Amino acid sequence: MFGYIKPYQPELKMGEFEQYRGLYCSLCRRLGKRYGCTAQMTLSYDMTFLLLLYLALSDDCTGFHKGRCPYNPFKKRLCCGDSPQLDRCADASVLLVYYKTLDNVADSAFVKRTAAKAALIAARRQRRRALRYEPEMDKAMAAYTAAQAAVEQAHSASVDAAAEPTAKLLSFLCALPAKTENERRVLDRLGYCLGRWIYLMDAADDVEQDSRTGNYNPLLEPHRGEPITPALLADCRERVRFSLNASLAECKAAYELLEIRRYDGILRNILEYGMAAAQRSVLSGGTEPQEVKS
C-alpha cells in the first residue's frame, strides 16, 4: 500500500504511541517469521492500521510483552503475541506487494522494470505461501488488480473510475473481521472510502513524477498534450481536495458506528489527525511537513 494512514505523533499519548509502535514491530516480526526477512520490507503504516482495526473489533486480545528487535537488539520494545489478526495482516501485506510488483513489471520503464522483475522472484515465492492461508484474499486482489489495469489501459480521465478498484479492495479487506451483517456493511463502507482516499492521495502525490515519466494518472489525463507547469500541477492536486475531504469524512462517520473494544485513541488519532496531516502535505506539494514517527 502507500503509507498515508499513520498517526500524528504530537496529538498521540505516550502510552498509545508505545502501543502503536509495538503493533508495528509485531507485524514486522510476524512477516519475518511467516515469510522470511525479505518480507519485512513489505511492512507499511497502512497494514498496521488494518491490524489495529482487526484487533479493535476482536473479542479478545493477546496483550503486549517486552521483546528485542533483531535489528535493534540493545533496546527492548513492546510486541504482541501471535494472533489470527496478525497472521491475516501479514498475509495481506505480501499479497499486496506481489500484485503491486506485477503492476510495476508491466508499467515501469526499463530500469525500474528490471528491478521489479528481480523483486518478483521473492514476491512470487511469498505469494505461493500466502495462497495456502488466504486463497479468497488472493482471488480478490487478482480481480481488483486486473480491474485497475483495465482502467489504466483505457486512460480514463474519471477519478471515480480510477479509484474504484482500490476502494473495493479495501472494502473487502476491512470487512473480513465482521461478525454481523450490520458490522459488515459499516466496515464495507469504511474500507471503500478509505481505499478511495488512498488512491486519490497517491494520484495527487505522484502527479509531478507521472508528468515526467508519462505514467497513467487520472488527474493528468484532462491535460494530455498541454505543457506541464507548476500551476497546472497545483490545479491537478486541488481537483481532488473535495473528494478527499468527503472520503475522509465518511471514514470517520462509519467508524463512529463500530463497537471498538480497544485502541480507540490511536484509531481516532489516525482518522482525525494523521490522515489530515498527510493530506495537507500532499496537497501542498510536500511543502507542509508531517511529524509522524514509528
Residue-wise pLDDT tens digits, 234-284? 999 999 999 999 999 999 999 999 999 999 999 999 999 999 999 999 999
Residue-wise pLDDT tens digits, 17-57? 999 999 999 999 999 999 988 888 889 999 999 999 999 99
Helix axis angle, 110-133 to 135-153, nearest 10°? 150
294 pLDDT tier (thresholds 50, 70, 90):
very low
**Which three three-digit cell numbers place residue 47?**
497494514
Residue 199: its H or E element: helix 181-205
1 pLDDT tier (thresholds 50, 70, 90):
low
- Predicted pLDDT of residue 64: 78
Domain residue spans in the chain? 9-283
**Which three three-digit cell numbers place residue 15?**
502510552
- Predicted pLDDT of residue 191: 97
Task: Calculate what percentage of the chain has a pLDDT beyond 90.
Answer: 70
- Predicted pLDDT of residue 61: 78
Cβ contact 187:174 at 8 Å:
yes
Residue 153: its H or E element: helix 135-153
Q: Is the pLDDT of residue 124 over 80?
A: yes
Candidates 64, 124, 57; CA nearest to 89 is 57
Cβ contact 86:129 at 8 Å:
no
Candidates 205, 218, 200, 100; CA nearest to 155 is 218
Q: Is the pLDDT of residue 226 over 90?
A: no
Q: Which residue has the higher pLDDT, 72 or 55?
A: 55
**Which three three-digit cell numbers place residue 266?**
490511536
- Predicted pLDDT of residue 291: 55
SS3 60: coil
- Predicted pLDDT of residue 42: 85
- Predicted pLDDT of residue 288: 65
SS3 39: helix
- Predicted pLDDT of residue 103: 78
Least trusted range by pLDDT, from 58-72, 116-130, 269-283? 58-72
d(CA 92, CA 95): 5
Q: What is the mean pLDDT of the chain?
A: 89
d(CA 105, CA 33): 27
Q: Cβ contacts of residue 155 below 8 Å, gap of 6+?
A: 216, 221, 224
104 pLDDT tier (thresholds 50, 70, 90):
confident
Helix axis angle, 84-107 to 45-57, nearest 10°? 150
Q: 127 vs 48, 55, 77, 92, 212, CA distance in Å?
A: 19, 24, 29, 10, 32
Cβ contact 199:166 at 8 Å:
yes
Task: Report, as an integer, the average pLDDT of 78-100.
Answer: 90
9-283 is classed CATH 1.10.600.10: yes
Residue-wise pLDDT tens digits, 189-224? 999 999 999 999 999 999 999 998 888 999 999 998
Task: Report, as an integer, the average pLDDT of 285-289.
Answer: 69
